[in-house]
């Protein structure tokens, strides 16, 4: 009996140690599991740095602000599949937190909602994929990557024996790896949600990528796999010898005159969650749209090679073409981590789940950014969630500038 207090104290001490060690991970896991709750989603989307480990980029030493022109009004109605939709309803229904229209490199509309402001760092979700594409283009231009026919496992031996062995960088960029993956955000046990829970618990993203298997020949089918972009991040770090954040700060963030700091959420190995975990301000998101609108130039400097920009927004194989396509799972076409709508205006988009968008129309010289926290995004019957609805909303705005 005399030993009992010592035993109980020992058990208590062990429990305290376990709590200290695992509480942050459990807290992050809970955050992920409640991330999209209706009453929490807006705040969650702008406050990841309060609970997750992050790596920050600092504002450019030479920050550049868009000039502000005469404010336009948003057209009250746009048309989707022959039916009128009210713009105000669409903005509210998708829980828009920020909307920015940049015309001829001048801000003509800027609005913040639901507590966001011009300094709010909001999560990009998959819009960050287009930023990673730009960095791959710069690394290729600098010779860190010899050509796009090099394979993932040349840079990352951990991927030998996985679905990425022998898969070219080009097919990774174009979401044509042949790797099997379930991207259903509404299914608890989908691959993307398994990845998310593992990320919250500190598991390695590299190791997760190495578990995926091939299900069809590469370069034949457009199947959206978010982990493809993580593999691009792995290649980028191996090729340049720098973290994604270091390379992005030097080659992109500083030359682009970014006004604000931003941050990447990182995993337990301090690898950035490049597939969708960039957090930045509305205006700084717009700048990649302006950069690509101006063929890779910003403020007179060629930040990304012009030929890379052109290739990035040009589908070059049957399985990448927009429209009804038996060789693709999506109605939009695809380039190098950019979505390509159908039509004759050369439009392209960066898209993220829960209705994040960067829309670029080269014909009208328009860039539109919309940040949202749409908790109904996974409801297949909720019409405003559809990317095609957002496209028609953006087109209605852009077409007012069409000659």
Q: Which residues contact 374 (CB under 8 A, 6 or more apart)?
A: 93, 94, 95, 354, 355, 384, 385
Output 95 or 3, whichever has higher pLDDT. 95
Residue 34 is predicted with a pLDDT of 79
Quick one: average pLDDT of 140-157?
98
Q: Are strands 54-57 and 77-80 parallel, antiparallel or unpaired?
A: unpaired
- Phi first, then psi, for residue 79 (nearest 5°) are -110, 130
Residue 3 is predicted with a pLDDT of 61
Q: Are strands 106-112 and 96-103 parallel, antiparallel or unpaired?
A: antiparallel
Round to whole Å and give the CA distance between 224 and 192: 11
Residue 22 is predicted with a pLDDT of 45
CA-wise closest residue to 45 among 37, 54, 35: 35
Output 37 or 97, whichever has higher pLDDT. 97
CA-wise closest residue to 144 among 273, 9, 247: 247
Contact (Cβ atoms closer than 8 angstroms) between residue 62 and residue 257: yes
pLDDT tens-digit map of 181-220: 999 988 999 999 999 999 988 899 999 999 999 999 999 9
Helix or strand (DSSP H, E) at 333:
strand 333-334
Confidence of residue 5 (pLDDT cuts 50, 70, 90): low
- Phi first, then psi, for residue 55 (nearest 5°) are -125, 125
pLDDT tens-digit map of 290-349: 999 999 999 999 999 999 999 999 999 999 999 999 999 999 999 999 999 999 999 999
pLDDT tens-digit map of 342-359: 999 999 999 999 999 999
- Phi first, then psi, for residue 9 (nearest 5°) are -65, -40
Domains in the chain, CATH or no CATH each: 34-401 (3.40.710.10)
Q: Which residues contact 9 (CB under 8 A, 6 or more apart)?
A: none
Measure Cα distances from 111 to 71, 219, 230, 286, 387 in Å. Answer: 11, 41, 32, 14, 21
Q: Which residues contact 89 (CB under 8 A, 6 or more apart)?
A: 384
**HSE toward the beta carbon, residue 225, CA cutoff 13 A:** 29
pLDDT tens-digit map of 240-280: 999 999 999 999 999 999 999 999 999 989 999 999 999 99
Structure tokens at 31: 């955050």
CA-wise closest residue to 351 among 400, 393, 386: 386
Mean pLDDT taken over the chain: 93
Structure tokens at 175: 């979401």
**Burial classification of residue 138, based on how many CB atoms lie within 10 Å of its CB (0-12 exposed, 13-18 middle, 19 or more buried):** buried
Round to whole Å and give the CA distance between 319 and 334: 9
pLDDT tens-digit map of 72-101: 999 999 999 999 999 999 999 999 999 999
pLDDT tens-digit map of 360-393: 999 999 999 999 999 999 999 999 999 999 999 9
Output 269 or 14, whichever has higher pLDDT. 269
Full-model pTM: 0.92
Q: Which residues contact 203 (CB under 8 A, 6 or more apart)?
A: 267, 268
The beta strands (E) that lie in 26-164 are given as 54-57, 77-80, 83-86, 96-103, 106-112, 122-123
Q: Are strands 262-265 and 54-57 parallel, antiparallel or unpaired?
A: antiparallel
Collapsed DSSP state (helix, strand, coil) of residue 302: strand
């Amino acid at each position: 009996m005399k030993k009992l207090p010592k035993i109980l104290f020992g058990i208590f001490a062990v429990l305290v140690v376990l709590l200290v060690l695992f509480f942050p991970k459990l807290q992050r896991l809970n955050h992920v599991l409640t991330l999209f709750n209706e009453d929490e989603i807006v705040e969650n989307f702008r406050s990841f740095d309060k609970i997750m480990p992050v790596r920050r980029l600092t504002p450019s030493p030479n920050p550049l602000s868009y000039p502000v022109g005469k404010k336009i009004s948003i057209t009250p109605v746009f048309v989707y599949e022959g039916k009128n939709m009210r713009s105000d309803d669409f903005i509210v229904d998708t829980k828009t937190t920020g909307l920015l229209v940049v015309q001829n490199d001048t801000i003509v509309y800027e609005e913040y909602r639901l507590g966001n402001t011009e300094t709010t760092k909001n999560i990009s979700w998959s819009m960050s994929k287009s930023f990673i594409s730009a960095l791959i283009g710069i690394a290729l231009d600098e010779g860190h990557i010899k050509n796009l026919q090099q394979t993932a496992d040349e840079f990352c031996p951990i991927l030998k024996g996985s679905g990425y062995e022998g898969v070219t960088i080009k097919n990774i960029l174009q979401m044509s790896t042949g790797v099997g993956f379930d991207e259903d955000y509404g299914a608890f046990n989908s691959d993307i949600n398994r990845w998310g829970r593992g990320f919250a618990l500190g598991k390695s993203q590299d190791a997760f990528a190495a578990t995926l298997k091939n299900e069809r020949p590469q370069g034949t089918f457009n199947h959206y796999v978010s982990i493809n972009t993580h593999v691009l991040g792995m290649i980028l770090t191996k090729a340049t010898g720098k973290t994604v954040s270091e390379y992005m700060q030097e080659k992109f963030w500083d030359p682009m005159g970014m006004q604000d700091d931003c941050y990447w959420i990182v995993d337990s190995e301090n690898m950035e969650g490049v597939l969708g975990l960039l957090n930045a301000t509305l205006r700084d998101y717009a700048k990649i749209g302006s950069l690509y609108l101006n063929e890779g130039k910003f403020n007179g400097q060629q930040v990304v090679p012009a030929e890379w920009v052109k290739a990035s927004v040009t589908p070059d194989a049957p399985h990448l073409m927009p429209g009804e396509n038996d060789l693709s799972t999506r109605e939009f076409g695809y380039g190098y981590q950019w979505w390509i709508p159908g039509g004759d205006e050369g439009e392209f988009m960066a898209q993220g789940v829960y209705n994040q968008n960067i829309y670029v129309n080269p014909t009208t010289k328009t860039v539109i950014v919309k940040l949202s926290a749409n908790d109904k995004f996974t409801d297949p019957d909720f019409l405003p969630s559809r990317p095609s609805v957002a496209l028609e909303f953006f087109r209605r705005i852009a077409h007012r500038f069409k000659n």
